[in-house]
Amino acid sequence: MQRRILAAVMATMLVFGLSACGSKEKEELRQKVASLEQQLAQANGSAADLEQKLKKSEEELEKCQAAAKKKTTTTTKSTKKK
């Protein structure tokens, strides 16, 4: 009888011990996930900023190319008239 009680107590302790260990690991994983989510949000923000800078640079490039093309066309026309 005592062995059965001892076995039941040990089994109970084992079950609670394993479940407590699992919850500790779960909490660590939750913290890691939260950290990764923050890093992802920062990376997405940086990517959005870089996309805006790229768009502005592309617009400036197009303006410069248009101005250069206009200048080249004007120079070519005045050279032909001479």
Distance (Å, whole) CA 6 – CA 12: 10
Cα(4)–Cα(82) distance, integer angstroms: 114
Unique residue bearing structure tokens 């410069």: 64
CA distance 32 to 38: 10
Kindly report, residue by residue over 1-52, the tens digit of the pLDDT: 677 787 787 777 767 766 666 778 888 888 999 999 999 999 999 999 999 9
Q: State the Cα–Cα distance between residues 66 and 75, nearest whole angstrom.
A: 14
Q: Against a cut of 0.85, is the pTM above it? A: no
